[in-house]
Amino acid sequence: MSGAVALPAPRGAAGLRRAAPVLMGLGRLVLGLGIAAAVWEGAVLGFGIRPEYLPRLSAILSTIAATPEAYAAGFLRTALETLIGFAAGVAVGVLNGVLFLRAPVLRDMLFPVFVVSQTIPVIAFGALVVLWFGNTLLAKAVIAFYLTFFPVTVNTLVGLQSVDPRQMALLRSFGATGRQVLLRLLLPSALPQIFVALRLGASLSLVGAIVGEWFGDTTGLGVILLQAMYTEQVTVMWAAILCAAVLGTGFYALVALAERYLVFWGAEA
């Protein structure tokens, strides 16, 4: 925020001044969305695009409005699967990173296996995971987890390893215990790197949840997509895609917001 030059302002305006950029951003977002909607609507009407390719935005929205419960239920279900898988993936990923830092033997043995495991078309496992865990919410969360934990592991390890050894030595010389070094120095230093992985994981876990639903379920955005494909209802399909976009963007924005607050020193280039 180098452009935000602090202007002399009365004390009471401080809160307003802090809120102003947020409001401006929101305003710009709404304006952008409005323009996008207008362009979409106009392009479909103007170029005469047939509805089996791209229906008008208003048609899609009215489809959602016709049965809002179905979309809301699907949205919530998919969001829950994504969140559980993401949270578990982040927890295991960070733990793995710390473990690998403490036990290099384990790292050398398991890391290549992890790398190989990620070149496996994970989704192919979907069918197996659904079999193992039954047709439950948990099965989809496991797929989302599998996609998330690896990037988090890698970036946690990279972040932890890039800590200046002299800072470690300094803390040690003050008598800090291993846990204190970890909580006060190592993890905070690795946080910017970890957040890079979290942003990636946010998108990946949503893909995992949606694809996981294709292996059989009754609610969820993936289910709506699949059923619309079988019945060739393109408008319903676009409605589900729109919901997925809102979910994906919202989740990504949440992670980015958390990053702004937690990594307030702004280490990301």
Partner 1 sequence: MRGVLGAVLIVLLWEGSARGFALPSYTLPAVSEILGGIWAQRADLLSGGATTLLEALLGYGLGTAIGIALATVITILPWSRTGIMPVVMAVNSVPVAAYSPLVLLWFGIGVSSKIVMVTLAVGFTVFLSALAGFDRVDRRSVDLLRSFGAGQASVLWRLRLPAAMPLIAAGMRVATVRSLIVAIVTEMLGARSGLGWIIYQAVVQIDFVQVWAAIFVASAISLAFFGLIGWVERKVIFWR
Q: Which of the ranges 8-16, 93-101, 185-193, 230-238 carries the binding residues for partner 1, by CB under 8 A? A: 230-238
Residue 225 found at the interface with partner 1 (CB under 8 A): yes
Give me the sign of the Cα torsion angle 172, 178, 180, 186. positive
Residue 111 found at the interface with partner 1 (CB under 8 A): yes
DSSP 147: H
Residues numbered 3 to 32 that lie near partner 1 (CB under 8 A) are 32
Residue 228 found at the interface with partner 1 (CB under 8 A): yes
Residue 133 found at the interface with partner 1 (CB under 8 A): no
Give alpha helix (H) positions in the chain: 14-46, 57-66, 68-102, 104-119, 126-133, 137-161, 165-173, 178-180, 187-213, 221-231, 234-262
Asked whether the beta carbons of 41 and 58 are under 8 A apart, the reply is yes
Q: Which is nearer to partner 1, 94 or 237 (CB)?
A: 237
Q: Which of the ranges 5-13, 94-102, 115-123, 191-199 carries the binding residues for partner 1, by CB under 8 A? A: 115-123
Give me the sign of the Cα torsion angle 123, 127, 128, 133. positive
Q: Which is nearer to partner 1, 185 or 201 (CB)?
A: 201
Residues sharing a CB contact under 8 Å with residue 123, sequence separation 6 or more, in sequence order? 143, 208, 211
Residue 123 found at the interface with partner 1 (CB under 8 A): yes
Give residues in contact with partner 1 (CB under 8 A): 32, 36, 52-53, 105, 108-113, 116, 118-125, 127-128, 131-132, 203, 206-207, 210-211, 214-215, 221-222, 225-226, 228-229, 232, 234, 237-238, 240-241, 244-245, 248-249, 252
